[in-house]
Structure 1
Amino acid sequence: MHSKMSSSAGHFLLLLLLVGATSRAAATTFTITNRCAYTVWPAAIPVGGGARLDPGQTWYLNVPGGTSAARIWPRTGCDFRNGRGSCRTGDCGGAMYCGLSGQPPTTLAEFTLTGDMDYYDISVIDGFNVPMNFSCSSGNALRCSDGGCGDAYHQPNDVKTHACGGGNRNFRITFCP
């Protein structure tokens, strides 16, 4: 009987470890909505690439757990044909699906997904191009309506990073809120 209980306890612990590992690796959903009167082309690195959002449209981006040093930004004045083109602001080497950061000026939504606690902020260190709100389902809502945005990083030593804890975290980015 002792060996059966030890075996059952071992299987239970293994199951708990697997469930824990799975929940940390689960994707986090970013809901990105364009409320601007013009088309915005959000881009995301290191995952997500890019999309076209006409006024009123929403892009749902699933980002894997463990993603760090990531950013999403709005591009404006874009013209793409066959996946290549350019943007007036936020251009990433003429690519529709970005693999590198956009050229300033760009309002940045930055984040790191650690699993237990996620971290997020808005940065205007690289300039400002589109008003943005950035929020977490269990954290503070950040607002940036112009280049003087009080909720944003203006220089590298600003302390503006926010924590997002709890289960089932999701993020929302709204352009021109």
Structure 2
Amino acid sequence: MSLLKNFSVFSIICITLCFPTSTNAARFDIRNNCAFPVWAAASPGGGKQLNNGESWPIDVSPGTTGARIWARTGCSFDGAGRGSCQTGDCGGVLQCQGYGQPPNTLAEYALNQYNNLDFFDISLVDGFNVPMDFSPTDNGCTRGIQSVAEPGFHIRGGP
């Protein structure tokens, strides 16, 4: 069983991660707390436009490694989901199949790893495009991480 139950990332998008014990899957709820639209992206998971206050849940399999969540900005897509973004673009498609292009602030995670632990971080290795907060919300963990003092992208959830 994973040590952390829920994670929370808060910034332009709010992402909540929850792992129901019955299926051992994880849920991330991504929420846009920015005053402008962002196009949330997840690998695995796809992508979705979020206006201020909107959220997007994604379910993730236990044992997932090398996973990322990020916000794309300045995007324009046609009805077929083709287009581009000024930051975080992932091959010109709304439904990301790979990682985003820099600059983009990253929430990274690996689930049910060494000693059945979950690992998460915020990375600026690919640059910075939005403030972000990622913090546990369950299983005794209540302290998370932020990329800046005033987050706009929020990720919550847990195993």
Q: TM-score range by the shorter chain?
A: 0.7 to 0.9
Counterpart-to-counterpart distance in 2, 1:128 and 1:66: 28
* 1:149 corresponds to: none
Q: Map of 1:103-118 to 2, 5 A cutoff?
A: 103-114=101-112, 116-118=116-118
Using CA pairs under 8 Å that are at least 6 residues apart, name the structure with larger relative contact order, 1 or 2: 2
Q: Which amino acid aligns with 1:29?
A: R
Q: Larger % of strand: which?
A: 2
2:55 alignment partner, one of 50, 53, 58: 58
- 1:25 offset after TM fit, Å? 5.9
1:1-177 matched pairs, under 5 angstroms: 26-45=24-43, 47-81=44-78, 82-114=80-112, 116-137=116-137, 138=141, 140-145=143-148, 173=155
Shift, 1:117, TM fit: 1.1
Q: Could you report, residue by residue, the CA deviation over 1:120-151 in whole angstroms, capped at 9, with x for unpaired residues?
A: 000001100001111122353111128xxxxx
Partner of 1:4: none
Quick check: 1:24–1:65 contact (8 Å CA) kept in 2?
no
Matching residue's letter, 1:173: I
In structure 2, the residue matched to 1:168 is: none
Residues 25, 66 of structure 1: 8 Å contact kept: no
TM-score, normalised on structure 2?
0.74
Note the residue ranges of structure 1 that are not aligned, 5 or more in a row: 1-21, 147-171
- 1:71 Cα shift? 0.3
**How many equivalent residue pairs?**
127
Quick one: distance in 2 between partners of 1:127 and 1:78? Answer: 18
Shift of 1:60: 1.0
- Identity, % of aligned positions: 50
**CA separation in 2, counterparts of 1:85 and 1:57?**
21
CA distance in structure 1 between the partners assigned to 2:82 and 2:69 by the alignment: 19
Q: CA RMSD in A?
A: 2.0
Amino acid at match of 2:70: W
Amino acid at match of 1:135: S
Question: TM-score, normalization: structure 1?
Answer: 0.67
Q: What do the CA deviations read for 1:51-91 (whole angstroms, capped 9, x no partner)?
A: 11100101111111111010000000010111100000000
Whether the 8 Å CA contact 1:35–1:56 is kept in 2: the answer is: yes
